[in-house]
Structure 1
Amino acid sequence: MTVKTLMDSTDVGRSTFYLYFKDIHEVMEALLAILQEEIFDAAKPWITHVGDPIALMIESMTGLVRISYMRGPIYRAFADAAASDKRFEKEWSDFLCAFDDAACARIEADQRQGLIPDFDVRPVVVALNRLDAYSLIQAFGQHPRNEPEPVRKALTRIWISTLYGSEWVGRNSSTLVRT
């Protein structure tokens, strides 16, 4: 994408673009910052709230899928751009790492409470988050988009069974107690 191709799709000229942005990278970085804020807001229940982690995971995954359904093409554009542009690659990596850090903190807290077995958290989180990113981009990054509910169910099942155990998949407990 170039500034010219972007502005050719609008009713304003390139000079208007340069009043607000230095280059196309700044536009993409601004869009990624908005996307990151929206996704963190959606994931906040599981990442930061206290209570039933299964219900919180379901709530967060529902929000994540909703945002990804709405913003899928932006998500895909950034992931695609990161493959061929070092600046975008760094921004994309930082974006993903922010979610890795937040999920690691939550899982480690749940491990201290005995809700999740002990394991090396970071590699599991990186795998889960990259699985999410790829799945969401594939499902919603182009038209026609997939139906959101099967994607939400699949990702929720994977996260819950990986972290809390398969016995919790499909359950919405009021308390999580490992036996």
Structure 2
Amino acid sequence: MQLVILDRDGVINHDSDDYIRSAEQWTPIDGSIEAIARLSKAGYTLVVATNQSGLARGYFDLDDLEAMHAKLSDAVESAGGQLGAIFYCPHGPDDECKCRKPLPGLIDAIEAEFNTSAESVPFIGDSLRDLQAGASKGCRLMLVKTGKGEATLKQLEPQGSDGNTYTLNGQSVEVFTDLAHAVDAIQS
């Protein structure tokens, strides 16, 4: 199985410091849905791993979250692809759970669900938490500049002179404009 793990907010859809609270507020970043569909059609299993502390904070409820994820899944299906699964952490930052990124609990759950290892699997995110979670499992780290990506880039060490490769605690991080460009690299 060819697995790819994606963060949601800031990678697939536009993010907000006030949280995405409803399906109406959930809007995809240009090209992201088509990029997911392209990988799906090429035989990849795409899985979303997302922190959703807005649930714990009371900003939205489970029905709202399920409506957002239905909108995402429907959009990918309309583009000819499909998502393998969506895993989310419903906890707040002080809940001491094991699933909130940067901890690897969501990736552990993905490994268990799909009976595979996430080692070397592309993990595409926009935040330092995403990269840290992926690094802890030996994933191929891919940062997009959308969402919080530009701010995250400033926290990484440049590697080489190409301007597209950085490191996080010695592990290589590839940097891309957006999800569509990261998908190009996966397929090349």
User: How high is the TM-score relative to the length of structure 2?
Assistant: 0.24
TM-score, scaled to structure 1: 0.24
Looking at secondary structure, tell me which structure has more strand per residue. Answer: 2
Q: Choose 1 or 2 for highest CA Rg.
A: 1
Which structure shows the bigger proportion of residues in helix conformation?
1
**Greater RCO (CA < 8 Å, at least 6 residues apart):** 1
